[in-house]
Structure 1
Amino acid sequence: MSGLKTTPLYGTYQKIGAKLIDFGGYLLPVQISGIKQEHHAVRSTAGIFDVSHMGEFSLEGADSEAFLQGMVTNDVSKAHPGDAMYTAMCYPDGGTVDDLMIYRLSASSFMLVVNAANIEKDFEWLQSHLDGKAVLKNESEKIALLAVQGPLAESVIQKITPFDLKSINHFKFEQNVPLDGIPVLISRTGYTGEDGFEIYCPWDHAEQLWNKLLKSGENEGLIPCGLGARDTLRFEARLPLYGQELSASISPLEAGIGFAVKTKKIDDFIGKTSLTTQKLNGLKRKIVGIEMIDRAIPRTHYAVYDGDLQIGEVTTGTQSPTLGKNLGLVLIDEAHTSIGTVIDIDVRGKRKKAKVVKTPFYKRS
């Protein structure tokens, strides 16, 4: 495990005996009290995640919007200061460089939040295309990120701030909100399918805020959560994970995030021609949800068959803690993607039947 980066909460993890793994080059907890317990807490009360491994870039200058318009699939001109926007960056062939969040801080300044494993790659990709009046900086080592997710997330955080959190709508944010006296950027966003907030704070204040939030939420059932629950939660909500549902060989359209691909925006962007062609000609393959008919759990990279013909593979699969079913996401030939279609999963050399089902598997009421 030597050579791995750590977050400001590494000391806390050591004290509480969290099970740590390598994730995106960081040493992070896969679970703290247990994946299922943490998962159910987020669905029913609230959970807190240390997501400080995510990368943050600042982009400032008169040409910032124009630069982003040429780099990402969504229409940044539609984002106003205080808006958070989900988008993707693509290669010319339509494959995905990364999926990311863009926070519009002002008319000419943005914060970009990228996946941990892609920080260096993304920064180099953006920097290599940068021209004009815009300055890009990697602030990842200065900014920590805590996520409080679940039905009681708002009430937990509200106890430590005078700011009215109800005023922050979904995919909106506020800057310089005092949490326990610490100014933070707080957004109503998350990666769990639940209501919740993401809190961007100075690196050296993360542990103080973590402890304060845990104390604030002790009567609401708030518990610390690891990567395992984060993965099962995002999977049930059908939120993609880079490296599984998205990659250099999987386009945003194939991954099912076409809502973040605006091929009709006036500005040209890298990959626009390829993605437009995919839309016009129809996808040859796409990611859909499956439910196992036979008793088995589909796992990442398990092959998917129609008879003797391999038609794709599993991108993510698990036993859903919320639904108690063995579910998966599969990237398969479009001809087999209709709801109810029966397919075979190769589970350690044995064929197990599954059927295509609607996604998301879970949607909060």
Structure 2
Amino acid sequence: MTIRAPSVSRPHEPALAGRHDGGERYRVAGGGLSVVELQRGDTLEVVDIEGLQPAELLAVHAGDGRCALAALGLQADARATFIADSLGRPTQHNYKIAAILSRRELDVRRAQAAVLWPPGTAAGHACTMTASEPVVVFVAAPGRPGTPEEIGQQATELQLVVRRAHPPSAHQPQESVPLADPLDDFLIHPGTARAYTVRAGEYVQILDVAGRQCTDFVAFDLAALEHGDMLDLDPTVTRTLNGSAWPAPGLFSRFYDRNMRPMLEVVRDTAGRHDSFSLACTARYYESQGYPGHANCSDNISAALAHFGVPARPGWPAINFFFNTSIDARQQITIDEPWSRPGDYVLLRAQRDLVCVSTSCPDDIDPANGWNPTDIQVRTYSSKERISVSMAIRSTPDAPAVLTQESGFHSRTSVLTHHFTQYRGWWLPSQFDGYGAIDEYYGCRERAAIMDLSALRKFDIIGPDAEALLQYCLTRDVRRLAVGQVVYSAMCYPHGGILDDGTLLRFGPDNFRWICGEDYAGIWLREQAEKLGMKVWVKSASAQIHNIAVQGPHSRAILQQIVWTPGTQPTLASLGWFRFLVGRIGGYDGLPVCISRTGYTGELGYEIWCHPDHAAAVWDSVWSAGEPHGLVPLGFDALDMLRVEAGLAFSGHEFSDEIDPFEAGIGFCVPLKTKSDDFIGREALLRRSAHPQRKLVGLELAGNEPAAHGDCVHTGRAQTGVVTSATRSPITGRNVALCRLDVAYAEPGTVVQIGKLDGQQKRIDATVVAPIFYDPEKSRVRS
């Protein structure tokens, strides 16, 4: 008999690395600075993630603000002026730093900084130092405003890793900087609850101190309570008014009472996964699990509300912040460890005077609190504060959270609409007031439209091995790409699934720009370069290059009026399809831009790439020139109709990491027969292309009932496909869809059925057609 050793759980948990190894990770944005405090013996590592990024460090004694570079083994450098200049700027980020300095009574205006390394650093280069005494440290990633054609010159982020000589306990509160001056600030220990009053317009910030800790939240209308009316958050009304299934991971934007009046607005969320309105944990739950007498949130909430005359309940419907639930295939509620990291928070704004209760959940018998209940912190802020609405995204599970950003064009688009959607970490308009999706659609098809697409990710790939890296990582034959040319390509995993798609611009023999949708694309490129030992840098440029699309049959006439190009560049009028130029808007001394003849609408069109500092002026110039031509603003709702009609693929719809380019309808960008160099996914794509299982087709629906993304497609009883995108085509008057269909039924003219309800009880006939419903010959976009 074989004697087995004990089985040990060792899950991969990259998001918890900072919590387990004693290391704290901080982000220094390109062109920005961050501050950390070190005690004697603490080690600080500064990492140049992407390479070629300068770094400055300023250190002062924690007690009196005197220069403390010597405590880190550094010397002052007269060239290091970026930190001093930055601290003098009145920004929201600097407000937080000023708050830290104020609490420490420190004045750093006369302190000198050090330069951490010479120019030319490789990706991953690091500088490590150990503090010989307590110090406050500022680290900056210096940068200057650039222009779109300055490949690789943009400032990129640094990473700070702090390893403490005496790591704090997971139970010890992690200090976080308030968002403003708090009205109230208190801790709630595990197994307890606290009631508090919040006035209309005031903010409530609920923080997970140590990470992976749930907190239940209930609220009552204060004025109603004073009249004996128990008017609290209503889960059914909230779910119904938000048009959402229950329960769903995440948060509703607003929470309502039974009278359908809003009580709370969600302003910020850095965790991204919560449970709205499951019951707070109850005595009965613990009793059923064999733990009678266990502390529970429902009883704690009842006790906290007793002072206000609210009758006790055995179970309280609550917003369960940081609680990780899901619905499995059997429609059962399941739970797992929370996603929240130390310092994650939710920020709410009261819509009227409220009595609120927050708990720190005592659950230690299942994964709900990571098996280890810890503290919750609550702060409230004045209604006079103005805190931006945002959510957090992370490019990888262990990356620092980045709040939703506004593009350089936001000052112009926000005047035209209040309808914004959060798209990949950016606020972009969904539709415009006074226009609407249909009007915007026809404006683009018949005249011209302007749209903010700054959420696209941009990466500059530079160095002698830049072409070789891209030839290996993209499906296109990059060696055939000429300077001034653009090419559309897929980026695949080794198994053939699509990591991302995008366009590649070639600025010179060793200078490229990859424009795509995923932050991870840059990480992937750097990883491949490191594996191959290539001399190449992959530099993030998304923060320094924002862009608009100008699309429609009048787009050329509009831009011809305002675009100047030097003699070495093509004119706007002569710019060919999938080519770009480097020029200026407004003449020889005008605003520097790149303009590519590309788009996502199926119409003649261009994209304008500029520095965010110039974005408002670029918008104004295009808007002014376009008004006589009937230029309209274009939002995401109209763009979706345009791109579906044109048969253009969208991530998460037509393709994913399970779908190869042939199944996604973009097999034209995989030249297996002519590209002689090896590339990632080649062998898998050869196998998949030889034995295709599914194909992207178009469907024209009978009648006026629409299809939707995710609808099943049937041939007889069997499901043979799935709808990837659908819309009502304004120009054809038909409901159309893109569909990934079994190749046995993909012949044009085949009749299939789109399943509604359960897919069997209701069907809509649809005819298979080519997956391009508008201008299949692309005569308009080529015109």
Which TM bucket (shorter chain)? over 0.9
Per-residue deviation at 1:10?
2.3
Letter paired with 1:337? A
Partner of 1:61: 463
CA contact (8 A) 2:460 2:540 kept: yes
Instruction: Pick from 157, 168, 175 the counterpart of residue 575 of structure 2.
Output: 168
- Encode CA deviations 1:297-344: one digit per residue, 9 max, x unaligned: 110001111111011210000101221110000111111111111111
Partner of 1:246: 655
Write the distance in 2 (CA, Å) between the matches of 1:144 and 1:91. 28
Partner of 2:640: 231
Specify whether residues 359 and 312 from structure 1 end up closer, same or farther in structure 2 by C-alpha distance, changes over 3 A only.
closer
Partner of 1:327: 736
Per-residue deviation at 1:270?
0.8
Per-residue deviation at 1:158?
1.2
1:137 paired with 2:543, answer no
Specify whether residues 348 and 28 from structure 1 end up closer, same or farther in structure 2 by C-alpha distance, changes over 3 A only.
farther
Write the distance in 1 (CA, Å) between the matches of 2:751 and 2:584. 53
1:16 paired with 2:423, answer no
Give the stretch that moved more between structures: 99-108 or 286-295: 286-295
1:127 paired with 2:539, answer no
Partner of 2:599: 190
Per-residue deviation at 1:79?
0.3
Partner of 2:765: 353
1:31 paired with 2:431, answer yes
Partner of 2:511: 109
What SS does the aligned partner of 1:165 have?
A: coil
Per-residue deviation at 1:348?
3.2
Instruction: Pick from 262, 268, 271 the counterpart of residue 671 of structure 2.
Output: 262
CA contact (8 A) 2:420 2:430 kept: yes
Q: How does 1:290-305 map to 2 (within 5 A)?
A: 290-305=699-714
Per-residue deviation at 1:18?
3.4
Partner of 1:276: 686
Write the distance in 2 (CA, Å) between the matches of 1:17 and 1:66. 45
Per-residue deviation at 1:293?
1.3
Instruction: Pick from 179, 192, 217 the counterpart of residue 585 of structure 2.
Output: 179
Letter paired with 1:18? H
Give the stretch that moved more between structures: 15-24 or 135-144: 15-24
Per-residue deviation at 1:257?
1.1
RMSD: 1.2
Write the distance in 1 (CA, Å) between the matches of 2:413 and 2:622. 16
Write the distance in 2 (CA, Å) between the matches of 1:244 and 1:75. 26
Instruction: Pick from 200, 206, 209 the counterpart of residue 609 of structure 2.
Output: 200
Per-residue deviation at 1:161?
2.2
Per-residue deviation at 1:359?
3.1
- The TM-score, its normalising length taken from structure 2, stands at 0.45
Write the distance in 1 (CA, Å) between the matches of 2:729 and 2:703. 15
Specify whether residues 5 and 162 from structure 1 end up closer, same or farther in structure 2 by C-alpha distance, changes over 3 A only.
closer
Per-residue deviation at 1:36?
0.9
Write the distance in 1 (CA, Å) between the matches of 2:500 and 2:607. 20
Give the length in aligned residue pairs.
360
Per-residue deviation at 1:165?
0.9
Per-residue deviation at 1:85?
0.5
Write the distance in 2 (CA, Å) between the matches of 1:278 and 1:40. 39
Q: How does 1:136-155 map to 2 (within 5 A)?
A: 136-155=538-557
- Encode CA deviations 1:223-254: one digit per residue, 9 max, x unaligned: 11111111111111101011111111111111
What SS does the aligned partner of 2:648 have?
A: coil
Per-residue deviation at 1:190?
0.7
Write the distance in 2 (CA, Å) between the matches of 1:358 and 1:286. 11
Per-residue deviation at 1:353?
1.0
Q: How does 1:33-52 map to 2 (within 5 A)?
A: 33-52=435-454
CA contact (8 A) 1:294 1:354 kept: no
Instruction: Pick from 610, 621, 626 the counterpart of residue 212 of structure 1.
Output: 621
Write the distance in 1 (CA, Å) between the matches of 2:720 and 2:425. 32
CA contact (8 A) 1:20 1:29 kept: yes
Partner of 1:81: 483
Write the distance in 2 (CA, Å) between the matches of 1:310 and 1:188. 40
Structure 2, gaps ≥5 residues long: 1-388, 392-403, 566-570
- Encode CA deviations 1:146-166: one digit per residue, 9 max, x unaligned: 110011101111111234312
CA contact (8 A) 2:417 2:431 kept: no
CA contact (8 A) 2:417 2:429 kept: no
Mark the structure with the bigger radius of gyration. Answer: 2
Write the distance in 1 (CA, Å) between the matches of 2:666 and 2:415. 39
CA contact (8 A) 1:296 1:347 kept: no
Select the structure with the greater relative contact order (CA < 8 A; seq sep ≥ 6).
1
Write the distance in 2 (CA, Å) between the matches of 1:18 and 1:158. 31
Letter paired with 2:390? S
Per-residue deviation at 1:358?
2.1
- Encode CA deviations 1:158-201: one digit per residue, 9 max, x unaligned: 111234312210001112x0112111111111111111111111
Per-residue deviation at 1:122?
1.1
CA contact (8 A) 2:696 2:771 kept: no
Partner of 2:208: none
1:92 paired with 2:494, answer yes
CA contact (8 A) 1:192 1:234 kept: yes
Letter paired with 1:68? L
Letter paired with 1:262? P
Write the distance in 2 (CA, Å) between the matches of 1:338 and 1:14. 46
CA contact (8 A) 2:752 2:767 kept: yes
Letter paired with 1:254? E
Structure 1, gaps ≥5 residues long: none
What SS does the aligned partner of 1:73 have?
A: coil
Write the distance in 1 (CA, Å) between the matches of 2:535 and 2:715. 53
Letter paired with 1:267? D
Per-residue deviation at 1:98?
0.3
CA contact (8 A) 2:448 2:552 kept: yes
Letter paired with 1:19? H
Per-residue deviation at 1:352?
1.2
1:289 paired with 2:698, answer yes
Partner of 1:337: 746
Partner of 2:18: none
Letter paired with 1:85? V
Per-residue deviation at 1:259?
1.2
- The TM-score, its normalising length taken from structure 1, stands at 0.96
Write the distance in 2 (CA, Å) between the matches of 1:267 and 1:227. 38
What SS does the aligned partner of 2:739 have?
A: strand
Write the distance in 2 (CA, Å) between the matches of 1:138 and 1:245. 26
State, as a whole percentage, how many aligned pairs show the same letter.
Answer: 38
Give the stretch that moved more between structures: 13-22 or 93-102: 13-22
